[in-house]
Chains A and B, each alone.
Chain A
Amino acid sequence: MFGYYVKLAFKSIKKNPLLSSLMVFAIALGIGASMTTITVNYLMSANPIPEKSEQLFYVQVDSWDPHNAFNDETGAPPNQLTWTDASNLFNAQKATKQVVMAKSGGIVVPDNQDVNPFETQIRLTTGEFFNMFNTPFLYGAGWDLSVDQNNEQVVVLTRTLNEKVFGGENSVGRNILIAGQHFQVVGVLDTWQPVPKFYDVNNGAFDEVEDVFMPFFLKESFELPSWGNTNCWKSPEGEGFKAFLQSECINYQMWVQLNNPIEKADYFSFLNNYVADQKAFGRFPRPMNNQLSDVMEWMEREEVVEDDAKMMMWMSFMFLMVCLLNTIGLLLAKFIGKSSEIGLRRAIGASKGDVFTQHIIEAACVGLLGGLVGLLLAFVGLQGIKSLYGDFVNNLIQLDFAMASLGILIALVTSILAGLYPTWRACNISPANQLKSQ
């Protein structure tokens, strides 16, 4: 029977091409708009590291100005650490794994004369970065704690940079000149782009990953510049790079891996003790306000999903609503227009249930068609978003299988819902009345 009803549905759709295409078009527009905005929101709020997002915690301690909170509205502690705190907390090695980091940059001068020198972004970090964040390696590996402690000059490159400088070959063991210093390549990452770029959302949560990973504490030896956001509530005391590092300016991030609530509680009390000790040196003038946020909590706190994206999603749901109301109206018109046909079917033995099934299937077919066209529209819509917003959204416009299925599902469910009332009306057409007028 199902196949027969589907056949009937398509026959009925073809019989009234204008009205049918109007319905399909309306559903398609609604689905297209919603899927476009849902995709952007879905990717913005995606979990970038689902396998361990609950074990990774961002560390915040309140080292800010005694007169003003870092964030007046929420009272949240500063979103980054000072050099002093990053170094102390790292050196304490109290968590299962920990990483401190910052953004920097410098000039790369390739040995190959054919490649011009160029400027690159550098992620200053410590060895456990790669292990904690599950980065894929193409060649070699990261570095261990002794490298960080002895300030060894090693780097990990991204695949892109390796291709640019070494033509894509295995460059492990080779030398590279960055920021005027010689480094030995120990590893090359395979393509890796967490969305959002959760480990540091300060300069654009959807930015590209930096091209060079370099041991964190080399910042001090080579006086590497601070490229991320730097915030100070008081000026450095004294002149020069050392004074800047020792100041209360924040520019550094720290993540720790804590595998269970006990470890988390232990680490939290370690943080509180640390701050209490620092207070004895006259630092941390504000009340104790430390925070450990796991990956998703941190994304929430940093408001990674753009307001504009949320707004567009709500608007597109209302848009879908209008399209559905439209479809209800048109289906109603259509089914009532078929009154005599329904009357005839009822008279020759179709039960109310049969008529109901037949028409719900017709509504679902319209929905399915609308959903398919809607997916095409969503694809066009996402290309449109790309052309409007530029590179910034490159990582946010992938329409994956889950999203496509969701689109079809929404189209089916909503069109069946939209079909309920018209179908109910169709079932209640009394056969006698209709046959009389034939």
Chain B
Amino acid sequence: MLELGPIFRALLRNKVGALLIAVQIAFTMAIIVNSVFIIYERSQETKRPSGLDEANSFFISSSGFGENFGAKATIEKDLTDIRAISGVVSAIQINAIPVSGGGWSMSLQTEPGAEHDGVGTAVYMVNENGLDALGLELLAGENFVASDIRWRQNSESTWPDKVIVTKAMAERLFPDIDYGQSVGKTVYINDNEPMIIVGIIDKLQAPWVGWNNVENSMLSPEHQETDSVRYFIRTAPGQRDSTMKQVEELLAKNKERVVDGMRSIEYVRERSYRGHTAMIKILTTVIITLTIVTSLGIVGLASFSVNRRKKQIGIRRALGARKIDVIKYFMLENLMISGVGVLLGAGLTIALNMLLVKALSITPMDWFYIPIGMIVLCLIGQLAVYGPAKKATGIAPAIATRTV
């Protein structure tokens, strides 16, 4: 450790070069650490389960336009026909698709009256097969029965008197009791209209993945009597793709409608999180290129400094320094520069994070990212400098004798 003093004093003679590397390391650290943090946050978000049997589900839309297009009869026939296809586990009509980005929201409250605040929730209109088709687990209470299901007309403004909510929704509505005990309680929709909670389901996400209340969903027992409908179909494992084709052909037989928008839930999830996935890929590319640029910069400057000090190294070797001592010299020098760099970097990282938090409402970073980032950046520096340092050991001691 005795070398530290001389190395440091030698560094001071080339302050600018050293400082350039240190600042570069600082900026690199700020970008990399913030990127890693954002990547982690985003990938956690994309992994949240929707509650659906995603791998085996899809949906399809149909819009009737003929003069004699009977909505109710068509829906009933369609559902019977679809369910008859082998490989179909269950099929329902639904107003919105979870995680898809488009849907219907309402607000539920525990006291009637416009003056009380409500809890926002996504609304899914399903029949008694809803739980089966969506692949939901009933935690408490019971499912709808066939007699609960009504036909909702266009522009209907009232609501059925039963509702099933997610566990998260129940806990938001009744924070003081166990979610199971909220079965049988009355909640109010549209300020004043009562609905009784008959069942609690484990998990079902809202259509909007960026929504704060994405876990809040309710099921309302109704079909919609409209010409434009959406069917949600769940198949036996592995049979989704073959079933999709059959369902599309089946519905297309009726020439008084347009069959459109058949998508698997996996596709919908991919599309809804595309922004996140893209961000993750872009930031990963940034991290990799930035690491390469910075390391190459260190390699370049270290090689240059080795070249300049050829004579000095030769003299040291002639005076008895071993190869390992030469390597150690450059490694230690780099460690000092990196040390200053990561200290600056810690400050910059926090500053960038604060800026992002303030301007773009990102969550603040956990503290441990900083020390880990500091260590990693120092390691990158050490790795980058190893090559040039190794090369320096090839300088023969005899060089010391050549010029004076």
Task: List residues of A whose CB falls within 8 A of some B CB.
Answer: 19, 22, 25-26, 29, 33, 65-68, 106-107, 109, 116-119, 179-180, 223, 225, 234-236, 238-241, 243-244, 307-308, 310-312, 314-315, 318-319, 321-323, 325-326, 328-330, 332-333, 336-337, 384-385, 388-390, 392, 421, 437
Query: B191 to A329, Cβ gap below 8 A?
Result: no
> Complex: how many Å from CA A392 to CA B154?
31
Q: Quick one: closest B residue to A240, CB to CB?
A: B155
Note all chain A residues with C-beta closer than 8 A to B359.
Answer: 307, 310
Note all chain B residues with C-beta closer than 8 A to A330.
Answer: 297, 300-301
Query: A329 to B258, Cβ gap below 8 A?
Result: no
B21 adjacent to chain A (CB < 8 Å): yes
Query: A333 to B301, Cβ gap below 8 A?
Result: yes
> Complex: how many Å from CA A315 to CA B21?
19
Jot down 27 A-B pairs with beta carbons below 8 A, ordered by A: A22-B297, A33-B286, A107-B63, A179-B65, A180-B67, A225-B228, A234-B190, A238-B157, A241-B155, A244-B155, A307-B360, A308-B279, A311-B356, A319-B286, A322-B27, A325-B20, A326-B294, A326-B296, A326-B297, A328-B20, A329-B24, A329-B301, A330-B297, A336-B308, A337-B304, A385-B282, A388-B274
Query: A332 to B20, Cβ gap below 8 A?
Result: yes
Stretch from B28-36, B85-93, B368-376 contacting the other chain: B28-36
B293 adjacent to chain A (CB < 8 Å): yes
Query: A322 to B296, Cβ gap below 8 A?
Result: no
B297, chain A: closest CB distance, angstroms: 4
> Complex: how many Å from CA A234 to CA B352?
43
B403 adjacent to chain A (CB < 8 Å): yes
Note all chain A residues with C-beta closer than 8 A to B266.
Answer: none
> Complex: how many Å from CA A29 to CA B290?
9
* Cβ-defined partner of A311 (8 Å) among B67, B155, B360: B360
* Cβ-defined partner of A385 (8 Å) among B35, B278, B297: B278
B281 adjacent to chain A (CB < 8 Å): yes
Note all chain A residues with C-beta closer than 8 A to B67.
Answer: 180
Contacts A29-B289, A119-B63 supplied; 5 other A-B pairs, CB < 8 Å: A107-B258, A315-B283, A325-B24, A326-B294, A385-B278
Query: B360 to A236, Cβ gap below 8 A?
Result: no
B237 adjacent to chain A (CB < 8 Å): no
Query: B27 to A325, Cβ gap below 8 A?
Result: yes
> Complex: how many Å from CA A385 to CA B361?
23
Query: B279 to A319, Cβ gap below 8 A?
Result: no
A415, chain B: closest CB distance, angstroms: 15
B113, chain A: closest CB distance, angstroms: 10
Q: Quick one: closest B residue to A242, CB to CB?
A: B155
B156 adjacent to chain A (CB < 8 Å): yes
Chain B binding surface SS class: helix
Assuming A311-B356, A328-B20, A421-B16, is B296 touching A22 (CB within 8 A)?
yes
A-B CB contacts (within 8 Å), total count: 140
Note all chain B residues with C-beta closer than 8 A to A325.
Answer: 20, 23-24, 27, 297
Q: Quick one: closest A residue to B30, CB to CB?
A: A318
* Cβ-defined partner of A390 (8 Å) among B27, B271, B356: B271
Query: A333 to B278, Cβ gap below 8 A?
Result: no
Q: Quick one: closest A residue to B42, CB to CB?
A: A308
Query: A239 to B155, Cβ gap below 8 A?
Result: yes
* Cβ-defined partner of B155 (8 Å) among A66, A236, A315, A326: A236
B379 adjacent to chain A (CB < 8 Å): no
Within 8 A of A (CB), among B156-183: 156-157
Note all chain B residues with C-beta closer than 8 A to A238.
Answer: 157
Note all chain B residues with C-beta closer than 8 A to A116.
Answer: 258
* Cβ-defined partner of B286 (8 Å) among A66, A180, A315, A336: A315
Query: B403 to A22, Cβ gap below 8 A?
Result: no
Within 8 A of A (CB), among B108-133: 114-115, 117
* Cβ-defined partner of A180 (8 Å) among B65, B301, B304, B362: B65
Query: A235 to B282, Cβ gap below 8 A?
Result: no
B394 adjacent to chain A (CB < 8 Å): no
Note all chain A residues with C-beta closer than 8 A to B31.
Answer: 315, 318-319, 322
B166, chain A: closest CB distance, angstroms: 23
Note all chain A residues with C-beta closer than 8 A to B304.
Answer: 333, 336-337
Query: B278 to A310, Cβ gap below 8 A?
Result: no
A315, chain B: closest CB distance, angstroms: 6
Query: A321 to B27, Cβ gap below 8 A?
Result: yes
B307 adjacent to chain A (CB < 8 Å): yes
Query: B155 to A243, Cβ gap below 8 A?
Result: yes
Assuming A308-B275, A318-B31, A330-B300, is B157 touching A337 (CB within 8 A)?
no
B17 adjacent to chain A (CB < 8 Å): yes
B4 adjacent to chain A (CB < 8 Å): no
Within 8 A of A (CB), among B258-274: 258, 260, 271, 274
Note all chain A residues with C-beta closer than 8 A to B352.
Answer: 314, 318
Q: Quick one: closest B residue to A310, CB to CB?
A: B360
Note all chain A residues with C-beta closer than 8 A to B278.
Answer: 385, 388-389
Query: B16 to A322, Cβ gap below 8 A?
Result: no
B267, chain A: closest CB distance, angstroms: 11
Note all chain A residues with C-beta closer than 8 A to B156.
Answer: 239
> Complex: how many Å from CA A267 to CA B356?
40
* Cβ-defined partner of B293 (8 Å) among A26, A243, A384, A390: A26
Q: Quick one: closest B residue to A203, CB to CB?
A: B102
> Complex: how many Å from CA A116 to CA B258?
8
> Complex: how many Å from CA A307 to CA B30?
19
> Complex: how many Å from CA A106 to CA B260?
13
Note all chain A residues with C-beta closer than 8 A to B155.
Answer: 236, 239-241, 243-244
> Complex: how many Å from CA A30 to CA B27?
13
A45, chain B: closest CB distance, angstroms: 15
Note all chain B residues with C-beta closer than 8 A to A19.
Answer: 300
> Complex: how many Å from CA A19 to CA B16?
19
A66, chain B: closest CB distance, angstroms: 8
B321 adjacent to chain A (CB < 8 Å): no
* Cβ-defined partner of B157 (8 Å) among A179, A236, A310, A421: A236
> Complex: how many Å from CA A323 to CA B300?
13
> Complex: how many Å from CA A332 to CA B308?
13
Assuming A326-B297, A337-B307, is B281 touching A388 (CB within 8 A)?
yes
